[in-house]
């Protein structure tokens, strides 16, 4: 379907649906080689455990889903220091209020990507809520940092075009809204197709509009 990044949860810690063993995640990494960038989402909070996962699974990108209190600036710096330069780090940032802007700015120097998602109190990690957040705050974050920013949080085939127009992210992420109803881990492939088509159409329209205005 032309998806650029494909994510999966690497490590069984009993925290969220869809957790894979390192061996299962490695099989996905191997199967996707040359087809898409492989993104391993980790719920681990210790640097050594995240490094162990990175070595065992071998993803292109490590998605740090835990909040700023458990994997903070210092831990992100340690990861950057010990990971191979070809393996990138994506830090999830909860978009709740204007404080999120300061949080994103603080993490940008130790991250290769930021992922802006919705945080719901009582749920582990950042994201997988199926709810949107204030896209105007997300736009402010994108304008304030100089690394690629991916927008997540309640994105659907129906609202992703509007989200792209308002936020102008480097990429968009869909989880809950493209799963089968009542199943938190199995994808609805028709919804995925609709989502990808909506994204591609919006990006094509944006490119056409920029060309007409002499903007590249």
What are the pLDDT digits (tens) for 58-91?
Answer: 999 999 987 665 688 899 999 999 999 999 999 9
Kind of pairing between the strands at 113-117 and 61-64:
unpaired
Domains of the chain, start order: 5-212 (3.20.20.70)
pLDDT at 164: 96
From residue 151, give the alpha-carbon distance in Å to each of 41, 154, 167, 170: 16, 10, 8, 8
> Which of 165, 164, 168, 188 is CA-nearest to residue 176?
188
pLDDT at 176: 87
Of 41-50, 82-91, 126-135, the poorest mean pLDDT is in: 126-135
Q: How confident is the model at residue 126 (pLDDT cuts 50, 70, 90)?
A: low
pLDDT greater than 80 at residue 127? no
pLDDT greater than 90 at residue 54? yes
> Which of 145, 78, 50, 71 is CA-nearest to residue 106?
145
Q: H-type helices in 61-155, by residue range?
A: 73-82, 99-107, 135-144
- The pTM score is 0.88
């Amino acid at each position: 379907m032309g998806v650029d990044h494909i994510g999966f949860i690497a490590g069984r810690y009993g925290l969220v649906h869809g957790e894979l063993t390192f061996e299962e995640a490695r099989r996905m990494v191997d199967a996707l080689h040359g087809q898409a960038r492989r993104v391993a989402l980790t719920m681990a909070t210790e640097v050594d455990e995240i490094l162990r996962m990175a070595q065992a699974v071998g993803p292109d990108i490590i998605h740090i889903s835990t909040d700023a209190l458990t994997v903070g600036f210092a831990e992100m710096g340690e990861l950057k220091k010990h990971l191979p330069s070809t393996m990138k780090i994506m830090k999830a940032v909860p978009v709740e209020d204007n404080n999120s802007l300061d949080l994103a700015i603080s993490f940008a120097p130790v991250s290769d990507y930021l992922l802006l998602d919705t945080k719901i109190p009582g749920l582990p990690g950042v994201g997988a809520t199926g709810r949107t957040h204030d896209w105007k705050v997300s736009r402010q974050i994108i304008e304030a940092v100089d690394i690629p920013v991916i927008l997540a949080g309640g994105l659907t085939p129906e609202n992703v075009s509007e989200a792209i127009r308002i936020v102008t992210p480097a990429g968009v992420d869909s989880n809950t809204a493209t799963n089968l109803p009542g199943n938190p881990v199995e994808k609805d492939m028709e919804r995925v197709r609709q989502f990808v088509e909506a994204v591609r159409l919006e990006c094509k329209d944006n490119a056409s509009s920029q060309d007409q205005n002499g903007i590249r």
